[in-house]
Amino acid sequence: MPELPEVEVVRSGLEPAVAGAAVVAVEVLDPRALTRHPGTAADFEGRLAGRAITAAVRRGKFLWLPLDDGADEAIVGHLGMSGQLLLRSVDAPRERHERIRMVVDHPSHGELAVVFADQRTFGSLAVDALVPTGDGAAGGRGSAAPLVASQAAHIARDPLDPAFRPDAFVRALARSRSAVKRVLLDQTVVSGIGNIYADEALWAARVHPETSASAVSTRTANRLLAEVRAVLQKALAEGGTSFDAQYVNVNGQAGYFAHSLHAYGRQGQSCDRCGRPLVREAFANRGSHYCPRCQRRQ
């Protein structure tokens, strides 16, 4: 599933093409791509035609495109397992798993097609209300407005957000008896981190994924947060992580952070730090990847 770096790469790719653009036409090819939209496909199409997009904003794994007509609404998207938002010429052929096509007219770039493609159909687009942020800070990356899409209002800020509070994160660990990895994946505590980057940050911080969060010292918690941020920043710089063709940027190009992984997906291979074979253990229908020597359970 796309995590913060992958969604941010998509957001930053969309921004110059859609910010300031007017929606010319919308075509819903598969209503399953509107599972989070409160109305019908016709309603979705009708509510967007002729409206202007002001920005591309992200919080955690949610992305939204605010609409500029005083209605405090946005097109909100969640990529799910395999969703893609692609920029194409208006006469480009259909994508293999194309679900929605939106034509926009930008004052500098002219007409472009914003295509939502999704092989597994777990992602969706919706017209959603924008609501005030609880702390009065900007809703997410890409806009200074203190507004957040209502569908993303329940999730915490992500570790790269200027309004993220490290002290609150450390306190959340101290209060929890859950495994530290479960807390990292809890989007109400810290958003944007999924299985890949949790494993990578825990390896870098030398913390066992099943260590009780309350057993993590304040010093170690701050080191873990620093490693989370470092991993996310490096993944961003490398375009995200692509293991197959399902995650690509807006131009259809894959990220290459998979070549920089130290733990995730490397079970049986030597730890880059100590040389001992990495292991994989079942975790919530997925897996945790770690070094049994460097990451001892407390």
Write out pLDDT tens, residues 159-218. Answer: 999 999 999 999 999 999 999 999 999 999 999 999 999 999 999 999 999 999 999 999
Does 97 belong to an annotated binding site?
A: yes
Tell me, yes or no, whether 297 lies in a domain.
Answer: no
User: pLDDT-derived band of residue 244, with 50, 70 and 90 as boundaries?
Assistant: very low
Residue 295 resides in a domain? no
3-state secondary structure of 197: helix
Nearest to 161 by CA among 18, 74, 60, 297: 60
pLDDT of residue 82: 85
Which tens digits make up the pLDDT trace of 3-27? Answer: 888 899 999 999 999 999 999 999 9
The sign one gets for the Cα dihedral 120, 125, 128, 134 is positive
Q: Half-sphere exposure of 15 toward its Cβ, with a 13 Å CA cutoff?
A: 15
Q: Which residue has the tokens 């999730």?
A: 155
| Element at 279 (helix H, strand E) | strand 279-283
- Domain check: are 190 and 276 in the same one? yes
Whether 213 is in a domain gets the answer yes
In a domain, 157, yes or no: no
pLDDT tens digits along 217-232: 999 999 999 999 999 9
Same domain, 15 and 105: yes
pLDDT band (50, 70, 90) for residue 236: confident
Q: Quick one: 148 and 171 in the same domain?
A: no
180 and 144 inside one domain: no
Catalytic residue annotation: 2-3, 61, 286
Model pLDDT for residues 113-149, shown as the tens digit of each residue: 999 999 989 999 999 999 999 999 999 999 999 999 9
pLDDT tens per residue across span 70-90: 679 999 999 988 889 999 999
- DSSP state letter for 37: -
Q: pTM for this one?
A: 0.91
Give the containing element (helix H, strand E) for 65. Answer: strand 62-67
- The number of folded domains in the chain is 2
Helix, strand and coil content of the chain, in percent to the nearest 5, comes to: 30, 25, 45
Examine the pLDDT at 276 and tell me if it is beyond 60: yes
Domain extent at residue 174: 166-290
